[in-house]
Chain A
Amino acid sequence: MAANERIAVAKTYKIYIDGKFPRTESGRYFPLKDKRGKVLANVCRSSRKDFRNAVVAARKAQGAWAGASAYLRGQILYRIAEMLEGRSAQFVDELVLQGTTRARARREVETAIDRLIYYAGWSDKYQQVFSSVNPVASSHFNFSVLEPTGVVAIIAPDDSGLIGLVSNVAPAIVGGNTCVVLASETSPLSAVSFAEVLHASDVPAGVVNILTGFRSELVGQFASHMDVNAVAFAGLDRKVAGTVQSQAAENLKRVIARAGVDWMKSDAESPYFIRDTQEVKTTWHPIGT
């Protein structure tokens, strides 16, 4: 070692719950290795208790987040994009580290930034596209609006570390939901770094909670928790997806299965993704004096 060589400081990848970065309460980890078997990081292997804590945080944050103005939610999503842009080099490097080519990594980060901008712009528009005033036959004023479903458990696609995560989280939170996300099992580092971006972007604590760990261990928890209103997943095999729906039935969770989506493509973004985690509320009032 040369006398003037500097030793790099390795990053500790932790999970993100309620605006804080704890280690998993279980103390467990799994080593993430590159193609040559070199350990890149020790990643938290979150437990069901971590998930439980995350749901508590998400539930606590949900009312205020849904109550925030659409304009503010849009600004915060825009802010996330800004912060991501500023750290894009880091994200590119991390994706490369996890096995993506540099060109593809660069495109993925750019697409993620643009996707956040895209959904930021929808914050105060999707309601106008999907609401209705209903011309009922009686003397009533009647309208239907969208309201967030509540707490959304998201199992992020495994095949991309960043864009799959962003593409599933952004439409949920722009609509006033809060979420608990299980990061890609094979590329979890980007998710943890994305949590740091969120943390620096005025996103209120608890709105997004990100766990790393094993799908086999946590999917059942995501599907069965009674205080989760919707479960969204991408890229689960059919058998696991069936188990999710079966367990989700216990409290009639909305099950959002996103299969066969190429998250890099432009059709992986649309207001219909927002609508997936919205409820339609119809209100009646008499018209009279």
Chain B
Amino acid sequence: MSLAVIDNPFTYPDLSRVPAVDEVGINERVARFQSRSIKTDSKMAALRLVLSMIDLTTLEGQDTPGKVRQLCQKAIHLHDAMPGLPHVAAVCVYPNMVAVAKEALAGHDINIASVATAFPSGMSSREIKLEDTRMAVAAGANEIDMVISRGAFLAGDYRYVFDEIVAVKDACGDAHLKVILETGELGTLDRVRRASVLAMHAGADFIKTSTGKIQPAATMQVTLVMLQAIRDYYRATGRMVGMKPAGGISTAKLAIHYLVMLRETLGNAWMTPEWFRFGASSLANDVLMQIMKQTTGRYQSADYFSKD
């Protein structure tokens, strides 16, 4: 592989060139990230960065306009008792809630992400998925979180998956496209790596681990494999792709481990909300509690932080 830009970023990839992944080796590398000890100023900086990278998420059948409005309030006012905190990167909702979110966030620099493409299973026709996407964009979403067709992928129909992502990307217009691999359904890290390559070549702006509806959701292991795929794609094409682990990251400590992994895999350029997001609902409060603890020296109680 040469250092120069050699590959066209948007062609169907040669999947035979995707390197193998060894699970035990990945586990060992992850353990090394977890053994980093982040203290004092670097911890505070990390906590603030984590807050700014959160896609504050509600994706429930029971979501109501009221719930979404509350979420948006939280996005704007994370903890007003502590001035000077960053706000989250985006709120993430279902397509039919985008309009509510847009109204609630009016005038604020917070992105609106909508899941689309028959989220979470993706088990629908191409036409419905595209329409789902167009509808969310039309309602004001500037980020679309799509799901890949895992069934087609597992059946070996990589071309179908690729073409579908290309079509959705097209339907997004100017909206950023995050492609959810649903790694918990892919089974092996080799497949995660393959799906990452496929998604990036098809035009993904971000690749994302999970819907949050399938266990396991995000793990450091799958995230590392995806980060390595992003790195190799960048080396080969010069195009940066973002990363979003989603689901299961609920503590500040774990989020900081992810930042360590990000820094030591992709370097500084990715250490911004532009290129890295956490898909999470309860992470923000744990981070806030940690910031408070760092500031006051006292361990905190959840009672003092608004749920949403």
Q: Provide the bound-state CA to CA distance between A83 and B296, in Å.
A: 92
B189 and A286 form a contact (CB under 8 A) = no
By the criterion CB–CB under 8 Å, are A139 and B188 in contact? no
A-chain residues with CB within 8 Å of residue B24 when the two chains form the complex: 139-140, 286-288
Knowing that A288-B27, A289-B189, A289-B190 touch, tell me 7 more A-B residue pairs with CB under 8 angstroms. Answer: A139-B24, A140-B24, A286-B24, A286-B25, A287-B24, A288-B23, A288-B24
> Interface digits, B169-201 against A, CB 8 Å rule (1 contact, 0 not)?
000000000000000000111100000000000
Give the number of residues in A that approach B within 8 Å (Cβ atoms). Answer: 6
- Contact with A286, one of B22, B187, B188, B190 (Cβ below 8 angstroms): B22
A289–B190 CA distance with the chains assembled, in angstroms: 8
12 A-B residue pairs with Cβ-Cβ distance under 8 Å, sorted by A, are: A139-B27, A140-B24, A286-B22, A286-B25, A287-B24, A288-B23, A288-B24, A288-B27, A289-B23, A289-B187, A289-B189, A289-B190
Interface residues of B (CB under 8 A from A): 22-25, 27, 187-190
Contacting pair A289 B27 (CB below 8 A): no
Of residues B22, B24, B25, B187, which shows the largest number of chain A Cβ atoms within 10 Å of its Cβ?
Answer: B24
Minimum CB–CB distance for A289 against chain B, Å: 5
- For window 78-101 of chain A, which residues contact chain B by CB distance below 8 Å? none
Nearest Cβ distance between residue A168 and chain B, in whole angstroms?
45
Closest-CB distance, B184 to chain A (whole angstroms): 14
Instruction: Report chain A residues within 8 Å CB of B25.
Output: 286
Which residues does chain B contribute within 8 Å of A286, judged by CB atoms? 22-25
* Assembled-state Cα–Cα distance A140/B187 (Å): 20
- Residue on B with the closest CB to A138? B24
B195 shortest CB reach to chain A, Å: 15
Q: Complex formed: what's the CA distance from A16 to B16 in Å?
A: 55
| Residues from 243 to 289 in A contacting B, C-beta threshold 8 Å | 286-289
Q: Give the docked Cα–Cα distance between A140 and B25 (Å).
A: 11
How far, in angstroms, from A218 to B75 measured CA to CA in the complex? 89
With a cutoff of 8 Å between Cβ atoms, the chain B residues found around residue A287 in the complex are 24
Cα(A140)–Cα(B24), bound, Å: 8
In the complex the two chains form, what is the Cα distance from A139 to B24 in whole Å?
A: 7
Shortest Cβ distance from residue B18 to the other chain A in the assembled complex, whole angstroms? 16
Q: Which residues of chain B come closer than 8 Å to A289, judged between CB atoms?
A: 23, 187-190
- Cα separation A131 to B24 with both chains bound (whole Å): 25
Distance of A209 Cα from B20 Cα, bound (Å): 48
What is the CB-to-nearest-CB distance from A139 to chain B, in angstroms, rounded to a whole number?
Answer: 5
- The 9 A-B residue pairs whose C-beta atoms are closest, nearest first, are A288-B23, A286-B24, A288-B24, A289-B188, A139-B24, A289-B23, A286-B22, A288-B22, A286-B25
Min CB gap B136→A, angstroms = 36
* B-facing residues in A9-43 (Cβ within 8 Å): none
CA of A289 to CA of B24, assembled, Å = 8
Shortest distance between the CB of B228 and any CB in chain A (Å): 16
Task: Give the distance to chain A from B57, nearest Cβ to Cβ, in Å.
Answer: 29
A139 to B23, CA, bound (A): 10
Roughly how many angstroms separate A139 CA and B30 CA in the complex, as a whole number?
A: 15
- Which chain A residues border B27 with CB–CB below 8 Å? 139, 288
Question: CA A23 – CA B187 in complex, angstroms?
Answer: 69
A197–chain B nearest beta-carbon distance, Å: 52
Q: Which residues of A lie under 8 Å from residue B190 when comparing CB positions?
A: 289
Across-interface contacts of B23 in A (CB, < 8 A): 286, 288-289
1/0 per residue, CB under 8 A from B, across A132-143: the answer is 000000011000
